[in-house]
Amino acid sequence: MATIKDVAREAGVSIATVSRVINNSPKAGKASITSVHSAMKKLGYRPNANARALVSKNSSTIGVLVSDISDPFFGSLIKAVDQVARVNNKHLLIGNGYHDANTEREAIELLINSCRESLIIHAKALSAEELIGFAKEVPGFVLINRYIPEIADRCIAFDNFKGAYMATEFLINNGHKHIAYINSNHKIDDASERKAGYLQALKDHNLPCPAQYSISADSNDEGGKAAMIELLSKNIPISAVLTYNDFMAAGVLSALEENNIAVPAQISLVGFDNGLISRYVHPKLTTINYPVEIMARQATQLSLKLAKKEKYTPETRIFSPTLVKRLSVSKNYSD
């Protein structure tokens, strides 16, 4: 039996377009209507009552797209969205994008089918042009952790460059000159912006930044551990390490412990995000605070206001990082 996905594939359009045609939406173009009806006839597809109601019935839902729901960072984001949603008698539908353009696109289209008014989207792989197109289609479409100038009024973002710069400068001010950076291997803005902040801080303080001090890996504890082992194998002087996130820092701690290298006595360490794990590793991790819960609540409030066509100006559109000082950094006198 043919499905709505089969129809979309046969017609060469998105699932959202098929839904618009089925529901007689005025946004459906003539060419789309013709191709969808032709595909439905060819495949013998007959939309049922549920399919016809996909777009029209669910103004009581908010769609949320994250990269990976199993990541505690995105768990915090979802919980914050849900807190605002419940106050407004809304329910959540959640999709995973996995930093993959096709997966993000399909997830957004499916969410549009069920949540035609409000979407909170964390999408890193899709082009700005596609996201702008989705924003035109959904009145409450809001991007979180990404800034696109053309839809700046739909964006709640974070200054990743400043966060990495701040962390690197903190290490420099503590006497460190040989600072390694372990980055995420995802090809996303966060990774490039954080690396740029690290490099700029070194440059501004007239410190060398050889390529061998920067390495990319999976953005989890195993990736951090493997990257630290690789750095140690290079036999280069390292007095401090900055990581893309706190989970990578936890992996770095594991690698250093296994090699009898004390933190912070021999190597200082700074993470990023201020996740729950940063408070419970040993030593407790100095890190950069990423206010994801505040950002998510504000994004949800913005989405709901936009969906109702009500004027609303968020208190902050681009959030700034703050340094959280704990026990993983010490003064360095040997560099």
> Which runs of consecutive H residues, i.e. helices, occur in the chain?
4-11, 15-22, 30-43, 49-53, 72-87, 101-114, 128-137, 160-173, 189-204, 221-233, 246-258, 292-307
| Residue 212, CA distances (Å) to 109, 168, 202, 215, 268 in order | 42, 17, 14, 7, 18
Q: Given this model, what pLDDT does residue 45 score?
A: 84
Residue 168 and residue 254 share a domain: yes
Residue 46: enclosing H or E segment and its boundaries? none
Beta bridge partners of 180: 241
Note whether residue 201 is domain-resident. yes
Residue 301 and residue 154 share a domain: yes
Q: Given this model, what pLDDT does residue 27 score?
A: 63
Residue 211 and residue 133 share a domain: no
Residue 121 and residue 201 share a domain: no
Q: Given this model, what pLDDT does residue 26 score?
A: 62
Alpha-carbon span 248 to 135, nearest angstrom: 34
Q: Given this model, what pLDDT does residue 13 score?
A: 85
Q: Given this model, what pLDDT does residue 43 score?
A: 86
Cβ atoms within 10 Å of 313's Cβ, excluding its own: 8
Residue 104 and residue 17 share a domain: no
Per-residue pLDDT of the chain (335 residues; tens, 9 = 90+): 677 778 888 889 877 788 778 767 666 778 888 998 898 888 888 765 444 444 444 568 999 999 999 999 999 999 999 999 999 999 999 999 999 999 999 999 889 877 778 999 999 999 999 999 999 989 999 999 999 999 999 999 999 999 999 999 999 999 999 999 999 999 999 999 999 999 999 999 999 989 999 999 999 999 999 999 999 999 999 999 999 999 999 999 999 999 999 999 999 999 999 999 999 999 999 999 999 999 999 999 999 999 999 888 888 899 999 999 999 999 998 77
Alpha-carbon span 297 to 177, nearest angstrom: 39
Residue 175 and residue 281 share a domain: yes
Q: Which domain holds residue 28?
A: 1-57
Residue 91 and residue 39 share a domain: no
Q: Given this model, what pLDDT does residue 210 score?
A: 92
Residue 270 and residue 166 share a domain: yes
Residue 137 and residue 70 share a domain: yes
| Residue 189, CA distances (Å) to 106, 184, 195, 334 in order | 21, 11, 10, 35
Residue 32 and residue 19 share a domain: yes
Q: Given this model, what pLDDT does residue 334 score?
A: 79
Q: Domain containing 89 — which CATH number?
A: 3.40.50.2300
Burial of 196 (0-12, 13-18, 19+ CB in 10 A): middle
Alpha-carbon span 156 to 147, nearest angstrom: 7
ω into 26 cis (within 30 of 0): no
pLDDT tens per residue, range 243-290: 999 999 999 999 999 999 999 999 999 999 999 999 999 999 999 999
Q: Given this model, what pLDDT does residue 15 score?
A: 74
pTM here is: 0.83
Domains in the chain: how many in total?
3
Note whether residue 332 is domain-resident. no
Residue 279 and residue 186 share a domain: yes
Note whether residue 303 is domain-resident. yes
Length of the chain: 335
Q: Given this model, what pLDDT does residue 25 score?
A: 66
Note whether residue 11 is domain-resident. yes
Residue 191 and residue 124 share a domain: no
Q: Given this model, what pLDDT does residue 86 score?
A: 95
Note whether residue 327 is domain-resident. no
Rounded (5°) CA angle 303-306-312 = 95
